[in-house]
Amino acid sequence: MTGNTLSERIREWTVRHEPANIELARQLVRIQSENHPPLGYEAEVQAYYADYLSRLGGSVRSYELSEVEGLTSHESFMPGRNYEGRPNVVASFAGAGGGRSLIFSGHADTVYQGTEKWTYGPFSGEVTDGKLYGRGSYDMKGGMAAAICAVRCLQELGVRLKGDVHIESVIDEEHGGANGTLAGRLLGPHADMAIIPEPTNLRINPAHLGGGIWKAEFTGKSGIGFNGEELISALEAMVSFVLLLRKFKTHLNAKYPAPDYWAKSGRPLEVVSLTMLSGDTTRQFQEKTPETAEMNFWIEGYPGMTGQQIIDDLWSFYEANLADYPELAICRPVITPKIRYLLGSEMGDSAEVRDFLQVVNRTGHQALGRDPGPALGTPFACDGFMFNVYSSTPALVLGPAGANAHAADEYMDLASYSELIRWYAEIMADWCGVAEDRDLAGGATR
């Protein structure tokens, strides 16, 4: 293989090691790590990461969030979760020196498997038709497995990087978490750049949406009007509020035009009704107007927007549209946040960020054999704001293709998984730098 470029050898390595690479992702999916706030069950998968990364030669640190000084007093810490026995894990692979550093940071927890029917078991790790099925395969154990495989790829090719590479697995990102990510930013390592392997379908995402979940509670007057009593149906008020939220989505997108990263994709901000409950659901029949109703809803925002700003906008819109929703004039909801508002954020426009994005684009061409496309904003919220807002490390979101995140039959596309391993390896070599050409096994050059 003497004389082959490093890109060619990376490609050959991923082909030769495809079965082993897929098996790593399958094993991660098989380890249940569901998040059920205030508890989470990431301990087993975190122990697996720690052991695997240690055997790769990484300097591994596992730590409880209670060990991180200043975490609970930080302005972005969200209280109310139990973190006992739920460690963060970070592995550092030291470079030869003189290069730039990079951290891959992903979350170990997944959402609940759900009550919907799965074609294959949610923790089966079934592989069929070029897809890996299972909870977390797409969001986001597949992306984490790709980062680990990329490190192993360069090691086995004899490539010594100049800069350090870190792989971090944090707890409690789902359900408005991100305290695990905050702990990592306070404790370190503090790399020059970060990649969050959330599923982006191999698109370069230097920015991500924000979002929050709120609860609306309605209290009316129950009964049957046999004597002309004035009844107020909390259920009908809630239905009117759902309709108002649909109209508010149009208003929100008109008031806040999409920044460039989202204008390119044409994706609007979403306003979604999540759950609705009314009346005495313990009875087979409801024989009176329901007195109470409650619902949860999700609203997204762009970088720079806050949760309070969004709710203030919603209340102003509510007051201005009462003539169309008379039930809401007499049955007003009490609105409270269910989770912390996840800030939207972007990497910024420094010379170093521009250089990094050029590296990512250039290596994308090499790894994919095609143009990776324009930089876009994610269609989801994530923990990237803990990097971009509360640390000195800008974070790019870049991960595999697939579908059905948070739903039944979640899967990762395995062709994209192999491409992502190549891409990550190329990014490491280009960004961190290769120590010496003569250190490459077989005398390969870039």
301-313 tens-digit pLDDT: 999 999 999 999 9
Q: What does the pLDDT read at residue 167?
A: 98
233 in Cβ contact with 290 (< 8 Å): yes
DSSP state of 192: S
Residue 216: pLDDT over 80: yes
Instruction: For residue 444, name the pLDDT band (cuts at 50, 70, 90).
Output: very low
Contact 132, 411 (CB under 8 A): yes
Q: Which helix (H) or strand (E) segment is 213 a member of? A: strand 207-219
Rounded to whole angstroms, the Cα distance separating 144 from 41 reads 18
**185-215: per-residue pLDDT in tens?**
999 999 999 999 999 999 999 999 999 999 9
pLDDT class of 225 with cuts at 50, 70, 90: low
Which positions ≥6 away from 416 have C-beta within 8 Å?
Answer: 201, 202, 400, 401, 402
The pLDDT tens digits for 135-155 are: 999 999 999 999 999 999 999
pLDDT at 50 over 90: yes
Q: What is the pLDDT of residue 280?
A: 77
Closest CA to 108 of 38, 197, 192: 197
CA gap 77, 178 in Å, rounded: 8
pLDDT higher than threshold 70 for residue 439:
no
Residue with tokens 């963060």: 88
Task: Determine the average pLDDT of the residues in 370-396.
Answer: 97
pLDDT higher than threshold 60 for residue 446: no
When mean pLDDT is compared across 33-37, 74-78, 441-445, the lowest value belongs to 441-445
> HSE on the CB side for 95, CA within 13 Å?
22
Q: Are 392 and 190 in contact (CB under 8 A)?
A: yes
Q: What is the average pLDDT across 386-407? A: 98
Select the more confidently predicted residue: 289 or 17.
Answer: 17
Backbone angles phi, psi at 149, to 5 degrees: -65, -35
Say which DSSP state 138 is in: I
Q: Which two tokens stand for residue 103?
A: 């951290």
Q: State residue 274's pLDDT score.
A: 97
Sort 292 into a burial class: Cβ within 10 Å, 0-12 / 13-18 / 19+: middle
pLDDT value at residue 4: 77
| Banded pLDDT at 437 (limits 50, 70, 90) | low
Asked if the model's pLDDT at residue 29 lies above 70, the reply is: yes
User: In the prediction, which pLDDT does 1 show?
Assistant: 34
Cβ atoms 132, 142 nearer than 8 A: yes
Structure tokens given for 181: 């990510």
* Helix (H) and strand (E) counts in the chain: 12, 18
| Residue 445's pLDDT band (cuts 50, 70, 90) | very low
First vs last C-alpha separation in the chain: 13
Q: How confident is the model at residue 283 (pLDDT cuts 50, 70, 90)?
A: confident
- Angle CA(150)–CA(151)–CA(157) in degrees, nearest 5? 90
What confidence score (pLDDT) does residue 231 get? Answer: 76
- Could you give the residue ranges of the DSSP H alpha helices within 116-233? 142-156, 179-187
User: Which residues have CB under 8 Å from 232's CB, separation 6+?
Assistant: 220, 221, 289, 327, 330, 331
pLDDT tops 80 at residue 347: yes
